[in-house]
Amino acid sequence: MSISSDLLREIDAFVRRAGMAPTTFGRLAANDGKLVARLRSGKGITTRTVEKVQAYMRARGDRGGPEAAVAGEADPEILNRIAGALERLAPTPWQSADLDDADALDAFVWHADLPSPTEAGFAKAGGRLEAVANVNRVEIFLLKGIDDQMDLLLDNTRRFANGLAANNALLWGARGTGKSSLVKAVHAKIAADKPGSLALVEIHREDITSLPKLLSILRQKERQCLLFCDDLSFEGSDASFKSLKTVLEGGIEGRPANVLFYATSNRRHLMPREMIDNERSTAINPAEAVEEKVSLSDRFGLWIGFHNCDQETYFAIVEGYVKHFGLDDPALDLTGEANEWAVTRGARSGRVAWQFIQDLAGRLGKPLN
């Protein structure tokens, strides 16, 4: 029997013995005349509503009379079990995301489609930040073959964390070459050198349209916030890039002084090449049309390119992982196996190297801690 069915059985017993209409019960118990009808149609119910219903039936039972017998039918153990099950099934509750608290966590994810918390519970809309206790990242010393890119981004981020001027950064280039890994590793390095100085806030590509709302929240914080969007790109029918342009630079408010925006993309101008070429061939003024498309990438003062690594760098990445995780095995032809793995994948990159390490650790029966 489902949770809703259990609760509905208790409500039916209550209204039957009390001689009360289901709509009246819904209005009195939860200020919702259609509550019972929705339960009968199989709709869900929130934990807060379960608690209201439970409190109402108990209160009516305390007054004596016919309702008292009915309240006795509403077994508290069953209702508590329903409430507990709903708590387990509910989305992750609001976690304290006080970015100004130096003792708080350093990483957060913005959920535009989740309600924001209020003193009375959750509001209907608004989005919220959720703290991330364990960030999925690679230690900065394990990133090989991108020393120049690392120095550029680390210097830019360190200046920002110290309250100095810094540029938005676009990390573009070949897939699997360490773009997002470098952003997270640089943040970890800064956070370790200067605890509490910099918060990493990730916004998903599909939530870009909610960026103004997020910036209005971050603008009120004292802490420096590194806003990060992984795999940012736009298709031909997507006009959300226009709102992003205004938010980054050009709007009346401008980007908050305590916010820096980093994005990664496989595309240098964040647009598919054919989209820009189509503008050249079909627009009345091709130059102006192309300018509008590529002007988004101009909002990033720091462009950092990533390219496919050569075989020597690929082997260096693999050897670094092997040493770090203790996967050395004298009987293992590490170079041969790593090369064979890259050939089957059709590429050499940091991502391919990590996938090989995962396979190797599994075959050796060793955890990657």
- Taking only the tens place, the pLDDT of each residue in 5-36 is 778 888 888 888 888 888 888 888 888 888 88
Give the predicted TM-score (pTM) of the model.
0.66
Q: Where are the domains of the chain?
A: 3-89, 140-306, 311-364
What local confidence, expressed as pLDDT, does residue 67 receive? 42
pLDDT confidence tier of residue 71, bands split at 50, 70 and 90: very low
Q: In the CATH hierarchy, which top-level class contains the domain 140-306?
A: alpha beta
Q: Which residue has the higher pLDDT, 181 or 29?
A: 181
What percent of the chain is predicted at pLDDT more than 90?
A: 37
**For residues 271 and 280, is the Cβ–Cβ distance under 8 A?**
no
Going 299 to 301 to 302 to 303, the CA torsion angle's sign is positive
Going 285 to 289 to 294 to 298, the CA torsion angle's sign is positive
pLDDT confidence tier of residue 330, bands split at 50, 70 and 90: confident
C-alpha 249/C-alpha 246 separation (Å) is: 5
- Which whole number is the average pLDDT over 275-279? 51
CA-wise closest residue to 108 among 182, 244, 218, 220: 218
Q: Which of 38-42, 200-204, 207-211, 313-317 has the lowest mean pLDDT?
A: 38-42
CA-wise closest residue to 171 among 248, 85, 232, 102: 232
What local confidence, expressed as pLDDT, does residue 292 receive? 59
